[in-house]
């Protein structure tokens, strides 16, 4: 392991930052800039494809596979997150981060040269594996390079970069396809990735040699076998396959059996990929639950905000994208503020105000209707985003403060995994609620002969009818208003459910008894770099 004293007191080893405070801070800043660039491109690529889809589908075809451009990336990212944390604790953050960036760049290059939609989906999966490495390693590295008194501020900055990438992704994708070939959506990652690699190869300290730990290969395989079918059920269930279909039930069975096998393996592993003893620490367990619930409620609800803005209020795609920016601005604001003040306020203050704030913002979104203004939507989204920003990094920061350095990576990545799973599950569950409520609304308000002409089983398709002139012109205006009102009521119901779900996370926050922000000597062993 990289030794803490060598970092703080200096060393003749050229791989170790210099002794002076200025040199140390400069080197740490350069390292964080490199890590931040990696975090930025990883989060950006989650959303950059959206606005470039029409051009991609027009060139490659394969409209039936377009949703997999998102699903493949998110699935791979979720699988990679816990494995990356485990490996970084064993072989060092730098090696794992650079391997992840290499994988991400390889996926980007191959995606840019794709000639079929099947190839593009496959290479998006490769991208996702790399992206799933970059995000947790960056957050764990903050705990390596900074003491608890400084971590909050840096975690806030890193979290803000994640939010920024998610915001600018759609705009960057749209700008590229309007001014260049869609392939540059993927090629644009190359210079940023190369710059990141160069910075970290020069400045990131190497770990001192130590006895290699045995890698938990069976645990890794069992974890993949648990997550993959579970996420596919969340993606396909109720849409591609019925919830009671053989495919859905078969995948569910595989996931459950694999989970039992994973627990069995981890209890006996010499050095498990996910140490089960971590769940004995209430702060880790409650924080993971809180992140999962918050992501489930907020991300599940905001997935349908663009549909509401375009199909119900009548905004253009561009304006709806602009209206989403305040959501991330609110998130970035409290991320930065809480990060700067956490050493004075502690984590618990932010964990207590975050869930109610998000719940209030989502509740106010549920009061919107077809006559609502853009300003109202913006104001309510700022509130919802601010609530998420208050807890986004503070659940993890609270757990890091009671974690040994040797397990910092696996703790950070495990909590990030719960957040990722929460978002995936939330989109699926709230999407099912949206579909059921929409069918009920239309059944009550439209005659049976009209229902047979509408795609009532798919909210996205119905929204497409409302915003497509060729489709909407064939429907009488009174019927259009009924459809619009029904869709509005259905989506605002989802916002209300999301508000209730996020408020439940307050229970986890109340139960957390965070410890005072400690000095680095109190919870540190050796720097796991």
Cβ contact 132:77 at 8 Å: yes
Structural contact between residues 129 and 87, judged by C-beta atoms closer than 8 angstroms: no
pLDDT value of position 32: 83
Nearest alpha-carbon partner for 330 in 283, 364, 371: 364
Assigned CATH topology for domain 277-517+524-529: Growth Hormone; Chain: A; (1.20.1250)
Burial of 390 (0-12, 13-18, 19+ CB in 10 A): buried
Q: Please report the pLDDT score of residue 454 as a whole number.
A: 60
Amino acid 105: pLDDT: 93
3-state secondary structure 372-436: CCHHHHHHHHHHHHHHHHHHHCHHHHHHHCCCCHHHHHHHHHHHHHHHHHHHHHHHHHHHHHHHH
Residue 241: helix, strand or coil by DSSP? Answer: strand
Q: Which of 523, 326, 426, 502 is nearest to 74 (CA)?
A: 426
What pLDDT shows up at residue 255?
A: 92
Question: What is the maximum alpha-carbon separation in the chain?
Answer: 83
In this predicted structure, what is the pLDDT of residue 14?
37
pLDDT of residue 353: 94
CB 104 within 8 A of CB 77: no
Structure tokens of 126? 């490769």
Q: How far is residue 460 from each of residues 246, 454, 487, measured CA to CA in Å?
A: 26, 12, 10
Residue 12 φ then ψ, to 5°: -75, -15
* pLDDT score, position 5: 38
pLDDT at 7: 41
pLDDT at 469: 56
For 487, list phi and psi in degrees, rounded to 5: -65, -40
Instruction: Please name the residues in contact with 449: beta carbons below 8 A apart, sequence gap of 6 or more.
Output: none
Angle at 403 between CA 36 and CA 345, to 5 degrees: 70
Kindly list the domain boundaries of the chain, sorted by start residue: 1-205, 217-269, 277-517+524-529
**Cβ neighbour number for residue 111 with a 10 Å cutoff:** 26
Spatial distance between the Cα atoms of 472 and 465, rounded to a whole number of angstroms: 6
At 401 the three-state DSSP class reads: coil
Q: Render each residue's pLDDT in the chain as its tens digit; 529 residues.
A: 344 433 443 333 334 444 456 666 777 888 888 888 888 888 777 767 766 766 776 778 765 666 677 778 877 887 888 888 778 877 788 888 899 999 999 999 999 999 888 899 899 999 989 988 888 888 778 877 877 677 777 777 777 777 777 767 767 777 787 788 888 888 988 888 888 888 887 777 665 444 456 777 888 888 888 888 887 887 777 667 888 899 899 999 999 999 999 999 988 887 787 788 889 899 999 999 999 999 899 888 887 887 788 778 877 666 766 777 788 788 888 888 888 888 788 888 999 999 999 999 999 999 988 888 878 888 998 999 899 889 988 898 888 888 877 777 778 878 888 887 888 788 778 877 887 788 788 778 776 666 565 655 555 556 555 655 555 566 677 777 888 888 889 899 999 999 999 999 999 999 988 766 554 344 444 343 3
Q: What is the CATH number that goes with domain 1-205?
A: 1.20.1250.20
Closest-CA residue to 82 (of 228, 210, 293): 228
Q: Do domains 1-205 and 277-517+524-529 have the same CATH topology?
A: yes
Check if the beta carbon of residue 140 is closer than 8 Å to that of residue 412: yes
Question: Sign of the CA dihedral 49, 54, 60, 61?
Answer: positive
């Amino acid at each position: 392991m990289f030794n803490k004293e060598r970092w703080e007191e200096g060393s003749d080893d050229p791989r170790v930052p210099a002794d002076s405070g200025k040199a140390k801070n400069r080197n740490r800043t350069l390292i964080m800039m490199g890590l931040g660039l990696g975090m930025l491109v990883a989060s950006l690529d989650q959303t950059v494809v959206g606005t470039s889809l029409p051009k991609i589908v027009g060139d490659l075809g394969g409209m039936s596979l377009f949703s997999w451009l998102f699903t493949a990336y998110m699935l791979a990212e979720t699988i990679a997150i816990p494995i990356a944390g485990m490996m970084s604790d064993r072989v060092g953050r730098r090696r794992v981060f650079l391997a992840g960036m290499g994988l991400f760049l390889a996926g980007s290059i191959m995606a840019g040269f794709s000639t079929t939609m099947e190839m593009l989906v496959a290479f998006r999966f490769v991208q996702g594996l790399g992206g799933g490495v970059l995000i947790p390693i960056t957050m764990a590295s903050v705990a390596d390079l900074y003491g608890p008194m400084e971590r909050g501020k840096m975690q806030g900055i890193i979290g803000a970069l994640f939010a920024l990438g998610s915001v600018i992704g759609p705009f960057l994708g749209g700008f590229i396809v309007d001014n260049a070939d869609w392939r540059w959506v993927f090629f644009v990652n190359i210079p940023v990735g190369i710059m990141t690699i160069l910075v970290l190869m020069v400045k990131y300290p190497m770990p001192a040699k130590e006895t290699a730990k045995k890698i938990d290969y069976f645990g890794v395989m069992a974890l993949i076998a648990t997550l993959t079918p579970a996420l596919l059920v969340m993606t396909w269930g109720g849409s591609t396959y019925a919830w009671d279909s053989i495919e859905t039930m078969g995948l569910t069975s595989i996931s459950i059996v694999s989970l039992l096998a994973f627990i069995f393996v981890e209890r006996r592993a010499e050095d498990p990929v996910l140490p089960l003893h971590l769940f004995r620490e209430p702060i880790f367990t409650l924080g993971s639950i809180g992140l999962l619930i918050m992501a489930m409620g907020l991300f599940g609800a905001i997935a349908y905000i663009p549909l509401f803005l375009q199909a119900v209020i009548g905004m253009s795609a561009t304006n709806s994208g602009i209206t989403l920016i305040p959501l991330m601005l609110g998130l970035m604001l409290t991320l930065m503020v809480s990060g700067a003040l956490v050493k004075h306020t502690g984590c618990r203050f932010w964990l207590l105000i975050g869930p109610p704030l998000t719940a209030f913002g989502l509740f106010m979104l549920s009061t919107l209707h077809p006559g609502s203004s853009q300003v109202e939507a913006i104001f309510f989204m700022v509130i919802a985003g601010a609530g998420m920003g208050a807890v986004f990094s503070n659940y993890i920061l609270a757990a890091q403060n009671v974690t040994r350095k040797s397990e910092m990576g696996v703790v950070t990545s495990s909590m990030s995994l719960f957040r990722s799973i929460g978002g995936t599950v939330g989109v699926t569950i709230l999407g099912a609620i949206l579909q059921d409520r929409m069918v009920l609304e239309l059944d009550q308000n439209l005659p049976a002969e009209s229902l047979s002409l509408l795609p009532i089983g798919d909210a996205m398709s119905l929204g497409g009818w409302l915003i497509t002139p060729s489709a909407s012109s064939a429907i009488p205006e009174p019927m259009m208003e009924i459809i619009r009102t029904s869709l509005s009521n259905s989506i605002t119901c989802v916002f209300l459910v999301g508000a209730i779900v996020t408020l439940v996370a307050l229970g986890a926050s109340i139960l957390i008894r965070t410890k005072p922000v400690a000095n680095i000597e109190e919870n540190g062993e050796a720097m796991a770099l």
